[in-house]
Structure 1
Amino acid sequence: MKPDSFEDAYARIQAATRTRTQTEIANLLGIKQSSISDAKKKNTIPDGWLVSLYRSMGLEPDWVLYGQEPVSRREGFCLGAAVRESLGDYAGATVKATVYAMSRSDPQTGAWRREGIESIPIFDQLNRPHLLVVKMDGTGMEPVIRRGAYVGIDCDDTRFRSGEVYALEIPGEGLVIKRIVRDMEAKRLTLLSDNPAHQAQNFPLENPEITPVGKVVWIIQEI
């Protein structure tokens, strides 16, 4: 089986280790930052990284390389999320962003309908050409994304990468936010909730009949 691209595997490492920068990854793995650039050019995750991640966090190499569960066999391990943004990291001008409801749907087709419910100021650095901001209306992604959180979605990024969080439309359910796992061996796409009280949903890898809306890139919520 051919491993996923370096970008996909690297994104999973970031999500699991809750790191955001190459410097943080390099310090975690005990390598030079330039080694990350070298690995990216070769489009491969070095074996040494896999060993370090397994020893330090119990991350399964097959999950890092292919997105195949389990993420870790270590008891009590909880997959982190590289979607938290600290407002302290940003400064400068703000822009107004329309916030849309997740629960609105067309009465005839059942498809999700964009209906603005309010507007909020966001720092310009958080803005994107095709940014969608929604207000989380469920508890499925708690504690990472709480009910009532403002969620920023990059609608230009719709290519599913394992371990990342996406907004998507599901027939009969409307707009939902889930963590995506691609299981190449079982040929299925698994939608996970971070809240263990919610069951996973499985769809065929080919023609899953769900529509990606975009990747979750930031959240604003009370601690």
Structure 2
Amino acid sequence: MNSSIYEESAQKAWDAIITKVKELEASGMKRAEISRLLGHTGRSAVTNWLNESTTSRNASFPDMLRYLDALGLDIQNYLPGPATIRRPFPNSPLEPADSGDSVEINVYALAGAGPGFELEESEAIATIRVPPDYAMRCDCAVMVKGDSMAWTIKNGGVVGVMRKNFDFISGEVYAVRLPYEGLSIKRVIVDASAGEYIIRSDNPDKEKYPDRRLPITEYEDIIMGRVVWVWQMV
């Protein structure tokens, strides 16, 4: 993604968020109420925004998408380029995500959420549009935060996860619950001789994202679902 395009889109989204927050305050809504609407406690977050102590550079793009959705603003108007969708396999072709027959689906979670996070208890944080055949392949959609899976999945990308009746195939991408890390999207490989899962990030920076090994017998329930498609900006 071109960084200047990202910065322009982030600023556009931030300006829309601040404008909407000011409108809500002018209508009589308290800052604490606005903060809660946006997923924050207290009133400090909104106060910092309005005092310009926090700017678009301080907020991640996935967080801004969540704010836009909570404020009733269409996130499609603030994305930095056309959305594409593809299956998570090498050389899979890109397809336009939003075409004439595309349908709207909810995004329910951020990968990287805390250890206590449960998909079943989450609320939608955003909506995206995908072709109908992709929508039917998944049970839920998860937004990816961070660059551990770049460039297979970019920061702010969304993955469709099949959580029921999927076959495990070593080397493919899965939603996993890692000890002390919580919900993550990773490539999972089985080392049968060692009886271990190899949890791997696609980012080539292995100093920052080293492989992690977990005994299969101790962590047999670690895999929560199989990633069946990837939605992201060009």
Aligned to 1:136: 144
| Distance in structure 1 (CA, Å) of the matches to 2:182 and 2:199 | 14
Shift of 1:211: 2.6
Instruction: Confirm whether residue 101 of structure 1 aligns to residue 109 of structure 2.
Output: yes
Aligned to 1:49: none
CA change 1:85–1:127 in 2 (3 A) is farther
- Consecutive unaligned residues of structure 2, counting only runs of 5 or more, are 1-87
2:116 alignment partner AA: G
Shift of 1:104: 3.9
Shift of 1:95: 2.0
Query: Which SS does the other structure have where 1:221 is aligned?
Result: strand
CA contact (8 A) 1:189 1:204 kept: yes
TM-score, structure 1 normalization = 0.55
| Distance in structure 2 (CA, Å) of the matches to 1:138 and 1:89 | 22
Structure exhibiting the larger radius of gyration computed from Cα positions: 2
Query: Which SS does the other structure have where 2:136 is aligned?
Result: coil
CA contact (8 A) 2:173 2:186 kept: yes
| Distance in structure 1 (CA, Å) of the matches to 2:150 and 2:113 | 21
| Distance in structure 1 (CA, Å) of the matches to 2:141 and 2:93 | 14
Counterpart of 2:214 (choices 195, 203, 217) is 203
Aligned residues: 140
Query: Which SS does the other structure have where 1:217 is aligned?
Result: strand
| Distance in structure 1 (CA, Å) of the matches to 2:188 and 2:165 | 14
| Distance in structure 2 (CA, Å) of the matches to 1:199 and 1:181 | 14
CA change 1:157–1:202 in 2 (3 A) is farther
| Distance in structure 2 (CA, Å) of the matches to 1:178 and 1:97 | 23
Superposition pairs of residues 12-161 of structure 1, within 5 angstroms: 82=89, 84=92, 86-88=94-96, 93-102=101-110, 103-105=112-114, 110-113=116-119, 114-128=122-136, 130-161=138-169
- RMSD of the alignment, in Å? 2.5
Aligned to 2:77: none
| Distance in structure 2 (CA, Å) of the matches to 1:123 and 1:202 | 36
Shift of 1:200: 0.8
Query: Which SS does the other structure have where 2:186 is aligned?
Result: strand
CA contact (8 A) 1:171 1:210 kept: no
CA contact (8 A) 1:139 1:195 kept: yes
CA contact (8 A) 1:111 1:172 kept: no
1:204 alignment partner AA: P
Shift of 1:206: 1.6
| Distance in structure 1 (CA, Å) of the matches to 2:191 and 2:185 | 19
Shift of 1:209: 5.6
Shift of 1:86: 2.0
CA change 1:151–1:143 in 2 (3 A) is same
Percent of aligned pairs sharing the same letter: 31
Shift of 1:170: 1.8
Shift of 1:126: 0.6
CA contact (8 A) 1:158 1:213 kept: no
Shift of 1:128: 2.2
CA change 1:142–1:204 in 2 (3 A) is same
